[in-house]
Amino acid sequence: MTTPSKTPQTISRTTDLSEMEYKWGFVTDVDAEIAPKGLSEDTVRFISAKKNEPEWLLEWRLKAYRHWLTLQESDAEPKWAKVEYPPIDYQDMYYYSAPKSPEDGPKSMDEVDPELLEAFDKLGVPLHEREKLAGVAVDAVFDSVSVATTFADKLEELGIIFCSFNEAVQNHPELVKKYLGSVVPYTDNFFATLNSAVFSDGSFAYVPPGVKCPIELMTYFRINTEGSGQFERTLIIADKDAYVSYLEGCTAPIRRTSQLHAAVVELVALDDAEIKYSTVQNWFPGTKDGVGGVYNFVTKRGRADRNSKISWTQVETGSAITWKYPSVILRGDNSVGEFYSVALTNNHQQADTGTKMIHIGKNTKSTIVSKGISAGQGQNTYRGQVKIMPGAENSTNHTQCDSLLIGDRCGAHTVPYIEVQNPTAQLEHEASTSKVSDDQLFYLMQRGISEEEAHHMIITGWSRDVIRELPFEFAMEASQLLKVSLEGAVG
Amino acid sequence: MTTTAPPSTIASYERDFLKHEDRADWLSELQRQAWTEFEKLGFPTTRRGNELWKYTDLRRLDSQAFNLSEAASMAASGELSKIAPWSDDWHSAVVIDGRFSPDLSRNVESAGVSISDFASTADSLRQKIEPVLGSLATVEDNAFVALNTALFQSGLLVEIGDDAELDQPVHILNIVSDGPDHRAIYPRTLLIAGSNSKAVVIESFVNLSSGPQLTVPVFEASLGAGAELQHFRVQLENEQSLHLGTTRSEQPAGAVFNSTTFATGPAIGRNDVHTNLAEEGAETTLHGLYITNGQSHQDNEISTTHHKPHGTSHQFYKGILAGKSRAVFSGKVLVQPGAMKTVAEQKDLNLLLSHGAEIDTKPSLEIYADDVKCAHGATAGHVDTSMLFYLMSRGIDRQDAAKMLVTGFATEIIDEFEPEPLREFLYEKLDQIVPKLDSEGIL
């Protein structure tokens, strides 16, 4: 582990920085690995300076920060979700921490800190193996800072840009400037605003016109430093007639205190483009007694232009709290939005997740398939919105959300919002909630399959519509994850 | 509930509350508490976080006060059958501008059923009313129940005896008389159904004025064990009026409460129904049809709570929307921990006939018990073109075909209105309404 230690040195530096508040100047201590505790304009300046960001980006962060202050004053932290957690003290957190690394960060695998690689191995991230075996380019995010990028050369040949967000800011500022905040503006919501002010790093991908990205782009996120917020910012742009499939997988080591994670993901699909975004989220869910675990407040949204398609697939098994609504703005005619989700809550986990499909263009089409599994004392809510704007002639939506309950102390909730302003639209929404069928269980068990294994088989089959949307290696992992996450929930 | 209202209109309701000094002693405490609650709440707003009023904007209540209607009278009972569903055989209580009219009422005292206003109620019955009144339609966090409770004039008690099986329906006919604009009417009905009794109760609302009026009715039904009550609610409003109605029921073991609604007309209508399945084996069916046209807005807030095992609930609403109208369906089924073997269904189907009409539908489930079977569904769409084609290919012209399909869509609900005079009345209404729907020429 390379957790930045809270040495007396760090503490005194923190104190110095805190005391510097409201003075005329801001001095960047480039060696500091951790931002002063708490959130202020100086924290924002510190982060921006650490990353050597251009002035316009600092200004953008500061605008977001000032807006966030007004949101905090007006108590605009969203409270409508069916999740309960103690009030978050935004001043009692670190907003930036960097792993120990050579001055400019490693450029190749050889330069990566062996300790980091070891940590990845423990998490089952066979970075160097995957590079060869699966043909996957990995952009590893370790506590917000990209440490290794592979396959870059191959992608470069095709003109595809796949790098950390910071690198994109340095090397492709025109693209970042053009699209950053264009789908999720910094005023969007409390957590997105917070992210806009203090985002640390994330992934950036750009696929030029007419190019089909030949490999699946993958990023591993990981939360590490105790008490540090993680604020990834991801921006993916598929230019006209381009295609990209992006995979995001997450794990986190056990920590006792809850950790805040507020990411923003923006997808831009220009005319005729397609983006497929898949997630397996397996962050620390807290202990069996509900201690600790990650608070995951994520804003994910895609903009779909004419004839384009955006597809979100997610398998959510981790986090103490999941608050996440990957959305598609179907603004171009004939655009398509899809959302496939399996969300599992066990023990004391709470998930309030779903999607938004906003139909603006004509002949737009959306599909929603959501599967919620509740076990233990988990609370699982599907919350989704389908909105047909007045000009969205001949649009269609089909929504199916099913919930499965395992045990008598959990909860499963379905809250769809369907708003239709055009008579030519066709909408169908259906949902069901039940427990695992006794008949199915009996059938399997009388053939010698244990109760737990039978449950797993039934749940895997029940989730199939979603799992099969995942790329193959993810599908395997996701199925395994469901099994592991449900351990102890049956019998 | 997030609420605010400028004091100007609230003051006008307060004057009505203070003016109304002749209330019975035993009611005064309840009405005073209700007023205090209303004062605290004010009218609901659509402000963020107020989920119950997300889609319904009541700002006009902040700028325009509606004053308690004076007592009015109507000449002849012969008129009634022309304006409302009617049968001389029914047990009919006529309520004009929120006041019981014994002269126009019929068969209010017969075997197994007794209908009277609170004022004329004997002490023995009063003892029955007191513990129930306001216990199901609670004023907490509900501005309109609070306002009704504070300001109702003659509350109506419908009592159905233990084991009574009524051959004829009970009909509570609420009429808003033709009179000055901006009057407020607060009809209040308390129904007490004895154990194992069986009855049909029709609650109809007719507005004879063409100007803007405010009707805030509350219907509260307390059922004995094993009682079966079929409730029909007919809301026929004028297009300038506001109608904010509440229906509350609680069912003990084996009791059944079914309620079917027909709603059309108002500038703003709200049909707020909540049933509580309090004991094992209770059952409820909440069905409805809403037809909106022009600038009309109809909000359906339909919720059921399952407290105990083996409960069954069905919510099924259908909407026909035309012109620039808007309708809301907000259905909720809450299954409490331990309410095993619950079966719940929820469905809202909508027909949108014009650009400019909007449906906001939100069928939601909140489930805390695992051994349940719950399902819901919602649809929205235009008249099915393949059905139109089918009919037209058989020589029916396009307009007639569309009319058949729209009428057919409504039939499924209207056919549930069992008493024949009522069903016929509604079909006549439907025949009048459908051709007038602003449907961009398809009807």
Q: Is B315 within a domain?
A: no
pLDDT at B431 exceeding the cut of 60: yes
Q: pLDDT tens, B72-103?
A: 877 666 688 889 999 999 999 999 999 999 99
Q: What is the pLDDT of residues A53-91, one digit of tens each?
A: 999 999 999 999 999 999 998 888 888 899 998 888 898
Summarize pLDDT for A355-405 with one digit per residue, the tens: 999 999 999 999 999 999 999 999 999 999 999 999 999 999 999 999 999
**Per-residue 3-state assignment (H helix, E strand, C coil) for A168-224:** HHHHCHHHHHHHCCCCCCCCCCHHHHHHHHHCCCCEEEEECCCCECCCCEEEEEECC
Q: How far is the alpha carbon of B331 from chain A, nearest alpha carbon, in Å?
A: 10
User: How many angstroms away from the CA of A462 is the closest CA of chain B?
Assistant: 16
What does B130-179 look like in DSSP terms, one character per residue? Answer: HHHTTTSS--TT-HHHHHHHHH-SS-EEEEE-TT-B-SS-EEEEEEEPS-
User: Over the Cα atoms of chain B, what is R_g?
Assistant: 21
Q: Please, what sign has the CA dihedral across residues A208, A209, A215, A220?
A: positive
Spatial separation of the C-alpha atoms in residues A124 and A398, rounded to whole Å: 37
Predicted local confidence at residue B125, as pLDDT: 76
Q: Which residue numbers of B have CB closer than 8 Å to A's CBs?
A: 49, 51, 337-338, 340, 350, 352-382, 440
Q: Judge whether residue A258 has pLDDT over 60.
A: no
pLDDT digits (tens, 9 = 90+) for B167-197: 999 999 999 999 999 999 999 999 999 999 9
Cβ contacts of B384 on chain A, cutoff 8 Å? none
Which residue type does B275 have? T
Q: What is the pLDDT of residues B406-425, one digit of tens each?
A: 999 999 999 999 999 999 99
Does the pLDDT of residue A254 top 60, yes or no? no
Q: Is residue B178 part of a domain?
A: yes
pLDDT confidence tier of residue A472, bands split at 50, 70 and 90: confident
What pLDDT score was predicted for residue B151? Answer: 94
| Nearest residue on chain A to B349, alpha-carbon basis | A428
Q: Average model confidence (pLDDT) for chain A?
A: 81
Mean pLDDT across B120-131: 80
| Domain contains B164 | yes
Cβ contacts (< 8 Å) between B375 and chain A: which residues?
A: 430-433
Q: How many angstroms separate the CA atoms of A214 and A155, rounded? A: 9
Cβ-defined contacts of B7-10 (< 8 Å, 24+): B8/B65, B9/B43, B9/B61, B9/B62, B9/B63, B9/B64, B9/B65, B10/B39, B10/B42
pLDDT-wise least confident of A221-230, B14-23, B104-113, B155-164: A221-230
A77 to chain B, closest Cα gap in Å: 11
For residue B316, how many C-alpha atoms fall within 13 Å in the half-sphere facing its CB?
A: 15
CA nearest neighbour of B406 among B433, B378, B377, B379: B433
Contact between residue A195 and residue A231 where contact means Cβ atoms under 8 Å apart: yes
A368 contacts A400 by C-beta, under 8 angstroms: yes
Which of B300 and B51 is assigned the larger pLDDT? B300
Nearest chain B Cα distance for residue A378, angstroms: 10
A411 contact residues in B (CB cutoff 8 A) = 366-368
Q: ipTM of this predicted complex?
A: 0.91
Given a contact cutoff of 8 angstroms between Cβ atoms, the answer to whether B210 and B177 are in contact is: no
pLDDT score recorded for residue A482: 82
Of B355, B361, B366, the CB nearest to A422: B355
Residue type, A54: P
pLDDT (mean) for A427-435: 92
For residue B119, name the pLDDT band (cuts at 50, 70, 90).
confident
Query: Range of B122's domain?
Result: 7-279
Give dist(CA B217, CA B226) in Å, integer: 27
Query: Who's near A17: CB < 8 A, 6+ residues apart?
Result: A29, A32, A35, A36, A42, A46
Residue A403 and residue B367: Cβ atoms within 8 Å?
Answer: yes
What pLDDT was estimated at residue A260? 86
- The answer to whether residue B28 is domain-embedded is yes
What's residue B75's pLDDT? 61
Instruction: Indicate yes or no: CB of A408 within 8 angstroms of CB of B380.
Output: no
Indicate yes or no: CB of B370 within 8 angstroms of CB of A416: no
Q: Which residues pair with A404 in a beta bridge?
A: A373, A434
Q: Are A416 and A431 in contact (CB under 8 A)?
A: yes
Residue B109: count other Cβ atoms within 10 Å of its Cβ.
Answer: 10
- Of A32-46, B31-45, B183-197, B315-329, the one with minimum mean pLDDT is A32-46
Structure token digits, residue B110 = 């017969």
Name the nearest CA neighbour of A469 among A359, A325, A367, A381: A367
Distance CA A342, CA A321 (A): 15
Cα B138 from Cα B23, distance rounded (Å):
20
pLDDT category, A245, cuts 50, 70, 90? very high
**What are phi and psi for residue A486, nearest 5 degrees?**
-95, 0
Outline where DSSP puts E strands in A272-421: 274-282, 294-304, 309-316, 321-324, 327-330, 336-345, 350-353, 356-359, 365-375, 379-388, 396-406, 411-420
- How near does any CA of chain A get to the CA of B266, in Å? 20
Alpha-carbon distance of A354 to B364, in angstroms, equals 13
**Do A329 and A293 form a contact (C-beta atoms < 8 A)?**
no
Whether residue A135 is predicted with pLDDT greater than 50 in this model: the reply is no
Number of other residues whose CB lies within 10 A of the CB of residue A55: 8
- Mind listing the pLDDT tens digit for each residue in B241-297? 999 999 999 999 999 999 999 999 999 999 999 999 999 999 999 999 999 999 999
Residue B359: its chain A contacts at CB < 8 A? 418-420
Q: Which residue of A has its CA nearest to B321?
A: A423
CB A389 within 8 A of CB B356: no
Mean per-residue pLDDT, A307-320 = 93
> From the list A421, A424, A433, which residue is nearest B374 (CB)?
A433
Which amino acid, residue B363? P
Evaluate whether residue B110 is within a structural domain: yes
Least Cα distance to B149 among B98, B92, B73, B204 occurs for B98
| A141-150, A200-209, A450-459: range with lowest mean pLDDT | A141-150
Contact B372 A79 (CB under 8 A): no
State the pLDDT confidence band at A4, using cuts at 50, 70 and 90. Answer: very low
Helix%, strand%, coil% for chain A, nearest 5: 25, 35, 40
Distance from CA of A91 to the nearest CA of B (A): 26
Say what the pLDDT of residue A121 is.
55
List residues of A whose CB lies inside 8 A of any B CB. Answer: 79-80, 388, 390, 403, 405-435
The count of residues in chain B is 443
Asked if residue A269 has pLDDT above 60, the reply is yes
Residues of A in contact with B367 (CB under 8 A): 403, 405, 411-413, 433
Number of domains in chain B: 1
Residues of A whose CB is below 8 A from B443: none
- CA B438 to each of CA B294, B322, B385, B400: distance values in angstroms, whole numbers, following the listed order: 7, 5, 18, 15
What's the confidence (pLDDT) of residue A109?
A: 55
- Looking at every residue in chain B, the average pLDDT score rounds to 93
In a domain, B135, yes or no: yes
Residue B126 within any structural domain of the chain: yes
Closest residue in chain A to residue B377, using alpha carbons only: A430
pLDDT-based confidence at residue A19 (cuts at 50, 70, 90)? very low
Mean pLDDT across the stretch B395-411?
A: 95
Burial class (CB in 10 A: 0-12, 13-18, 19+), A66: middle
For residue A57, give Cα distances in angstroms to A45, A52, A169, B219, B315. 10, 10, 9, 60, 52
In the three-class reduction of DSSP (H, G, I as helix; E, B as strand; rest coil), residue A133 is classed as helix
Nearest residue of A to residue B352 by CA position? A423
pLDDT band at A106 (very low <50, low <70, confident <90, very high): very low
Question: Residue A410: how many CA atoms within 13 Å on its side-chain side?
Answer: 32
What b/e sequence results for A219-244 when a residue is b if at least 16 CB atoms lie within 10 Å of its CB, and e otherwise?
bbbbbbbeebbbbbbbbbbbbbbbbb
How much is the pTM?
A: 0.88
Q: Is the dihedral of CA B96, B100, B101, B105 positive or negative?
A: positive
The pLDDT score that the predictor gives to residue B77 is: 60
Residue B437 resides in a domain? no
Query: Which amino acid is present at A342?
Result: V
Q: What are B345's two structure tokens?
A: 């269904």
Which residue has tokens 């708490």? A38
Q: What is the pLDDT of residue A370?
A: 96
DSSP-derived 3-state class of residue B127:
helix
Of B359, B370, B372, the CB nearest to A420: B359
Does residue A129 have a pLDDT over 80?
no
Helix (H, G, I), strand (E, B) or coil at A143: coil
- Chains A and B: how many Cβ contacts under 8 Å? 118
Bigger pLDDT: B388 vs A491: B388
Segment A18-47 shows an average pLDDT of 60
Backbone angles phi, psi at B409, to 5 degrees: -60, -40
